[in-house]
Chain A
Amino acid sequence: RRRAMGRAMGLAGLLLGLFLLPAVLVSTSLRHGAPRSEPESAPAPEPAEWEPASGAVPEDSLWPLPQWFRTSRRQLQLAPGRFQLVHGAGSSAGPACGLLQDAFRRYYEYMFGQSRRRKRGRRPLGARAEPELSQLQVVIESRDPGCRSYPHLASSEAYHLTVTEPVAILKADEVWGALRGLETFSQLVHEDDYGSFLVNESEIDDFPRFAHRGILLDTSRHYLPLKSILTNLDAMAFNKFNVLHWHIVDDQSFPYQSIYFPELSDKGAYSYNHIYTPTDVHLVIEYARLRGIRVVPEFDTPGHTQSWGKGQKDLLTPCYNGEQPSGSFGPVNPILNTTYDFMTKFFKEISSVFPDAYIHLGGDEVNFDCWKSNPEVKEFMKQQGFGIDYAKLESYYIQKILDIVSFYNKGYIVWQEVFDNKAQLKPDTVVQVWMENNYAHELSSVTGAGFTAILAAPWYLDYISYGQDWKKYYSIEPLDFPGSEKQKKLLIGGEACLWGEFVDATNLTPRLWPRASAVGERLWSSRNVTNLQDAYKRLTNHRCRML
């Protein structure tokens, strides 16, 4: 649960949070492990981090920082027994909107926790002087609120929040903005020393800077039980992330239980216990939807497919040792019709199982050695006039997959190699830039060629290191690449990636959070929100709240 220790922590939590100097965020100079000769990123103890919060200010725990807000010293009280999250007059959404009903309950619980003060009743005579805030009214302004739809790249996540007596109003175009606004509202409510719930009068106008703000989870290198994934979706919602990039299968294992090809997981998963059934997949998609999070699955081919070969005979290229097959296999075999028959049927299933408009098709790190060793492949290369340029064979394959997927009316995202190796891409292809070396240059190239881009390169959170590395992620400026205004608009956002080689359910959460929060603010908040000291203060509070 979000609020730890059984009771909502609120302001007490904020103060405790600063005292607790939570993991990841503390650095002192006088301590073991920092031999003086080694260069340290934070050499001197920062007194501000040690000082207790004297009267924490409400915006001291907003994360990510809203685009525009103002607060006053004036406080309003909330009584858990009487406070309500309701649909406001004029809203196009009402009690039939399951998504909002669910969110109301969820946020009520986040704010008031296991509070026993749920009894209804009139306001006690000896109450605090502050006026009571009795409701947060949510008003969806678009004719179609989106209660039953899936979020997508162009969804509106903007909201306007006015907190004043006697009722606070949260206005948003669509339900997605309401979800974002509810998160922010819950971050404004705090507890005083006596346990009273308070919120400062405020006005907030907010919207995300980038539309694609994702987390990549890898469930092939290590299986992640459903619980892990769902907990992660909760954490994403706390940080206003809106895309789960589900790198669901890869070389090591194939946990996705396919309806058309059950052998894929039967033979390719680590065990029968390490699979995602269709029910599991639907659960993830719906749990995400209720939090305004898109689920973009990645079925990475033609490389990264060892586990596919276990359940699908003849899909992978047999490697050769001279004249004889060596017994091992390489990438998907691009020269056989059966390959494309399989892919056609497979992606038909994927397109119908996953409702998002996009599918990630991978296309990264294709090792050509096996293709080069196979005589039939070599023959094909000759026939096609590709010479010895295997990048052309890779592109040949990719193009056919892209066509298959387009036929099912899906857009696609690909890793940068697909672009680098000059495959013929449709204009609305999204290219994900992941190679750290000179990624700014790559962003220029990709957007310069007119393609939409997503940035992951500086945000490989699986690359752990000692100390406050969140600062490094926070300090990245995605638009710091040479290009025109038009080009910069093509960078639609980014993703924090947690590859699974060294990650499973035993360490996922503490490794990903709150480091990914730094990326979350970078992608939501305004470009000029860069002050590390201020971020430290807010992130400290935010982290304790997330626990």
Chain B
Amino acid sequence: AENEPPWGMPCTQLLVFVATPGCDGFPSLDSKESYKLSVLEGSLLLSADAVWGALRGLETFSQLVGRDENGTYYINKTEIVDFPRFPHRGLLLDTSRHYLPLRAILETLDVMAYNKFNVFHWHIVDDPSFPYESLTFPELSKQGAFNAMTHVYTASDVQTVIEYARLRGIRVIAEFDTPGHTLSWGPGAPGLLTPCYLGKDPSGTYGPINPILNSTYQFVTSLFQEVSAVFPDFFLHLGGDEVDFTCWKSNPKIRAFMKEMGFGEDYKKLESFYIQRLLDIVSSLGKGYIVWQEVFDNGVKVRPDTVIHVWKENSIPYMEEMANVTKAGYRALLSAPWYLNRISYGQDWMAAYQVEPLKFEGVPEQKDRVIGGEACMWGEYVDVTNLAPRLW
């Protein structure tokens, strides 16, 4: 026949079949994201164990639909069986070095879904600013945000992000990084940070959280009680990186404490003292935790289900660190080769693509402990004017 269309039967429906309910739940590390997609003449079927797999399958389906030069939408006969290699595929955004308006975060979540990312690691506060509006400690953002009226995330904003993410099968893991990276906490929580000393007198500047005061642990308990309730994911990221000991060393009360505790001159022991108490607090709140690699490197006693986040590219080769972490029985996340904030000329996506996360010496049980990785977009040089083109 003359004008026979080249296409087969028109497709009218994509049937989505989900085996186990879970529409109202939150995604977790154990969520099943597998799906099967079958595109046949007269039948389009997407089947998955859980809704999360259906989301992944819908994305794939949308990528299969093409348009010919006449504008006709078409799809080829296809069979797909798909599931993720790693269950934790994350993206870190830093909203402390530069505030990111809600729309930037939501847009990022959309693009994450296009790329089947499933964890939004929200590095929400740090030295430069504290944009998180806390109900328990409203002064933290009042004094610590770049602008307490405009550069904050209200409780409603946070809920919006969590729900927007959930609808895309994305977990939101908040990071409240301590005891370092906390300068912005100081103004709204007097007495929390360690006063640094110049000789016998306070110098006027502050350092990491003060690990020797009871008030510190009361504060931390209350804050994390709130954070645990606000963020539904099982995991919290507790930071623990780059603690600078200079300020602690300068403070006579801290030095006295070191002596009392028999820590000698090893400030790593003081750091561990703090971290251990923090981890206990967070555990008792029913949360699991992820920490940056220093916590492991410095020999802190952590729970067996702790996830260690490997980020240093140079101090020891990161693959060695991955081997050490997994050998010691901990689960590991890889970020070291994926610091996307470190821009360079040309097609640097290739270097990121060529990283093989399991390229280290180890037995299969070790390799199983690598649960995935995260691309990081630190915010020193990033704000809403350049986030999207830099990240994608």
Contacts and interface: CB of A to CB of B under 8 A. Distances in A.
B315 A23 contact: no
B389 A510 contact: yes
A37 B312 CA distance: 11
B204 to A, nearest CB: 12
Contacts of B343: 464-466
Contacts of B382: 23
Nearest to A513: B385
A271 to B, nearest CB: 12
Interface in A18-67: 19-24, 26-28, 30-33, 35-38
A30 B146 contact: no
B233 interface: no
A325 interface: no
Given A23-B98, A23-B385, A32 B378 contact: yes
B127 interface: yes
Interface string B107-151: 000000000000000000011100000000000000000110000
Contact of A35 (B97, B313, B347, B385): B313
Given A21-B128, A37-B314, A31 B385 contact: no
Contacts of A353: none
A21 B97 CA distance: 8
Given A30-B242, A31-B380, A506-B389, A466 B341 contact: yes
B244 interface: yes
A127 B133 CA distance: 38
Contacts of A507: 386, 389-390
A506 B392 CA distance: 10
A463 B345 CA distance: 5
Contacts of B341: 33, 466
A272 to B, nearest CB: 13
B82 interface: no
Contacts of B376: 32-33
A26 B314 contact: no
Given A23-B383, A463-B345, A510-B389, A32 B128 contact: no
B344 interface: yes
B383 A22 contact: yes
A37 B316 CA distance: 11
B311 interface: yes
A158 to B, nearest CB: 33
B339 interface: yes
A32 B339 contact: yes
Given A35-B315, A462-B345, A465-B345, A19 B147 contact: yes
A71 B244 CA distance: 44
A32 B146 contact: no
A476 interface: no
Contacts of A510: 385-386, 389-390
Say what secondary structure dominates the interface of chain A.
Answer: loop
Interface string A491-508: 000000000001000110
Interface residues of B, number: 37
Interface string B270-309: 0000000000000000000000000000000000000000
A7 B324 CA distance: 55
A476 to B, nearest CB: 18
Contacts of B344: 464-466
Interface in B154-189: 180-181
B315 A467 contact: no
B388 interface: yes
A525 to B, nearest CB: 25
A547 B389 contact: no
A452 to B, nearest CB: 30
A404 interface: no
A308 B311 CA distance: 49
B239 to A, nearest CB: 10
A344 B4 CA distance: 51
A357 interface: no
B241 interface: yes
A502 B389 CA distance: 11
Given A19-B147, A20-B146, A510-B385, A31 B98 contact: no
A26 B180 contact: no
A31 B378 CA distance: 9
Interface of A: 16, 19-24, 26-28, 30-33, 35-38, 462-467, 502, 506-507, 509-511, 547
Q: Nearest 10 A-B pairs (CB), nearest first?
A: A507-B389, A510-B386, A35-B314, A466-B342, A23-B383, A23-B381, A463-B345, A37-B314, A19-B146, A506-B389
Given A16-B146, A19-B147, A23-B380, 8 more contacts: A20-B98, A21-B128, A28-B128, A31-B242, A33-B341, A36-B315, A38-B314, A466-B343
